[in-house]
Amino acid sequence: MKRLNLAILFFLSLIVLQNSCKHSKESGMKHVMIAECTPTEFRQRLAEAPIAYLPLGTIEWHGEHLPLGADGLQSQGFFRELASEAGGMVFPMFFLGPDRTLEADGKEYYGMDTGNFDTSSGHDYARRQFDGSTYWVSDSLFVQMLEATVKQISRAGFRILVAHGHGPSTVKMAEHAAEWENKYHLKIFNLWGYRDEEGMGIMVDHAAMNETSITMALYPQLVKMEYLPADENTWPAGVGGKDPRKYASKEKGLEIIRIQKERMVKVLSEALTQI
């Protein structure tokens, strides 16, 4: 009887330990989002790693198959994964951003409305206002909003900022990074620069193989490949890059995330030793 009671006690202890570990893991993932942190949790995470992650998103057409918030969702999802290992906190995503513009036929066109990236590829399409795109602001206004955010991030005690997402938004951050690093005593990074030309970077096309694969890995329930033209000779409007119908997969997305997360953990670990 005594042995039986000890066995039951040991078994129950294992269950408690397992549930405790599970709770800790879930809490850790949850509390990488700054909006979900209490002040106490904020202070703890800031002391451990003063890294801020800023997803630069849009509400923008990304083909018929991806959600309108694909830019912000991808960067936020990747940042959650990265923060769970490298430390730091993820800020809410921007949904406004700059982009190229065109006035024609008495209308205004923004970003992908104006045509595809490479007209020599045979993937061009007539300009049109794409359904759902509601993100555009001028370069000057965006830079004002971005600098105000950078200032507040610095004021809160962060010393490293990783900002990435919508291409033109990321470019604007990169253009001002040196200035703002000096002005606000921050080290600023984006995610571009490693294996981008292979399509293995973070967000290096527009709704094509790369972005579709990343979204499949992070939010598989939001990807609707069946909404794309079944005929592969018909190019999907608003898609720039390698055909997602042929080359995108969840497995490819998971590989991209693994490669880039491993790289950025090393980059940020090194940066933490220099602040």
Q: CATH number of the domain at 90, please.
A: 3.40.50.10310
Instruction: Please indicate, yes or no, if residue 130 is contained in any of the structural domains.
Output: yes
Instruction: Please indicate, yes or no, if residue 172 is contained in any of the structural domains.
Output: yes
For every one of its 275 residues, what pLDDT tens digit does the chain have, with 9 covering 90 and above?
545 444 444 443 443 334 444 443 444 445 899 999 999 999 999 999 999 999 999 999 999 999 999 999 999 999 999 999 999 999 999 999 999 999 998 999 999 999 765 666 677 788 899 999 999 999 999 999 999 999 999 999 999 999 999 999 999 999 999 999 999 999 999 999 999 999 999 999 999 999 999 999 999 999 999 999 999 999 999 999 999 999 999 999 999 999 999 999 999 999 999 98
Q: Which residue has the tokens 């206004």?
A: 141
Instruction: Please indicate, yes or no, if residue 244 is contained in any of the structural domains.
Output: no
Residue 126 is predicted with a pLDDT of 81
Q: Which residues contact 61 (CB under 8 A, 6 or more apart)?
A: 68, 112, 130, 131, 132, 133, 207, 238
Measured CA distances, 256 to 72, 147, 195, 218, 226 (Å) = 17, 30, 10, 11, 23
**Domain limits for position 172:** 31-195+261-272
Strands 101-104 and 107-110 turn out to be: antiparallel
Residue 248 is predicted with a pLDDT of 98
Specify the pTM.
0.87
Instruction: Please indicate, yes or no, if residue 72 is contained in any of the structural domains.
Output: yes
Instruction: Please indicate, yes or no, if residue 1 is contained in any of the structural domains.
Output: no
Instruction: Please indicate, yes or no, if residue 211 is contained in any of the structural domains.
Output: no
Instruction: Please indicate, yes or no, if residue 166 is contained in any of the structural domains.
Output: yes
Residue 83 is predicted with a pLDDT of 98
Q: Looking at beta carbons, which pairs linking 136-139 to residues 24 or more positions away fall under 8 Å?
A: 136/96, 136/97, 136/98, 136/99, 136/101, 136/110, 136/111, 137/96, 137/97, 137/98, 138/98, 139/98, 139/172
Instruction: Please indicate, yes or no, if residue 13 is contained in any of the structural domains.
Output: no
Q: How many domains does the chain have?
A: 1
Residue 127 is predicted with a pLDDT of 87
